[in-house]
Amino acid sequence: MDRTIAFIGVGIMGIGIVNNLKKTGAKLRLYARNKEKILSLSDSRTEVFDKPSDAVLGAEFIILCLTDDDSIRKEFYGGGILENAKGIILDFGTTSPELTSELNQVCKENGLCFIDSPMSGSKNAARDGQLLFMVGTDSKNCLDSCKFFYDVISKKLILCGASGQGQLAKIALNMIQAGILQSYMEGFILAKKSGVEFSILQEIISESAAKSGISDFKLNTISKRDFSPNFSLKNMNKDLNHALKLAMKLNASLPLSNVLKSVYDDGMNCGFGEEDFSTLMKVNEQRNGL
């Protein structure tokens, strides 16, 4: 029997993922809020739909790739996904712990399997099938049945534990990445005010213990003043909000991240939300009169 995958929310990341899902030979049923942007993905085994409720009909696997809690609630409940879903539902976005718990419970009540499976990686990683997935599930059997498509879209899948643990791990990861980038930005601000060229400090970082995946990817685009989104400031701001809310609930002291939030607030207030989160460079420059 043909496998059928519904993909709800084909955006910047989704396009690359869908192109790799085609390699599985599965039938694909796609939905995006702007249908025109994904019509080029259509072929004999890939169909684009006007409504999420239609896209999920007959699908064994339903992938949600939506940006925030409000979008998921709108499509999952109001868009008819829950009403028409069968099989396994996977959440590829970064969702609040509260909504993740709710989705897992609702799916159980309706005879569905739920897997929280947030991803990490750029649109280039999505294109190349090199995403990292952090997974939480109460059913190892459900996860095993998804292996055929994880194999073509990911470089690694890390099972974090029961349902919800994938999202908790992803929230911690994004908080770390947000802080790492800010530390680089402050270093470059200090260097610039001291008369040290951007390219010189960038080379030093690349040859020192300060080198990281963030520096390898983001510093090159910042040096070109290219802030086109791979992962937007608004989404990183959303995930930082999740982290700080969780920290408050757990009574965890996170002094660096609490201070960092004001930098993100400045970026959002400046209208940089749709740009890549590396636009923090511009925020820090403005704060320093540069």
Query: Which residues touch 252 (CB under 8 Å, ≥6 apart)?
Result: 246
Q: Are 276 and 232 in contact (CB under 8 A)?
A: yes
Span 91-129, pLDDT tens digits: 999 999 999 999 999 999 999 999 999 999 988 999 999
Q: Say what the pLDDT of residue 67 is.
A: 87
Tens of pLDDT, residue by residue over 49-101, are 999 999 999 999 999 999 899 999 999 999 899 999 999 999 999 999 999 99
Could you give the CA distance from residue 43 to residue 101 in angstroms, rounded to a whole number?
36
pLDDT at 255 over 60: yes
How many whole angstroms separate alpha carbon 284 and alpha carbon 289?
A: 9
List beta partners, residue 43.
46
| This prediction's pTM | 0.92
- In the DSSP assignment, the letter for residue 37 is G
Mean pLDDT of the chain: 95
* Separation between Cα atoms, residue 28 and residue 7, nearest integer Å: 7
Task: Decide: 193 and 285 in contact? Cβ < 8 Å.
Answer: no
Tokens of 40: 């080029």
Cα distances from 264 to residues 104, 155, 178, in angstroms, run 31, 30, 9
* pLDDT at residue 2, rounded to an integer: 78
Predicted pLDDT at 160: 98
Per-residue pLDDT, averaged over 272-288, amounts to 96
Are the beta carbons of 26 and 45 closer than 8 angstroms? yes
Is the predicted pLDDT of residue 1 greater than 60, yes or no?
no
pLDDT at 7 over 60: yes
The pLDDT-based confidence of 142 (bands split at 50, 70, 90) is: very high
Q: What is the mean pLDDT of residues 179-206?
A: 97
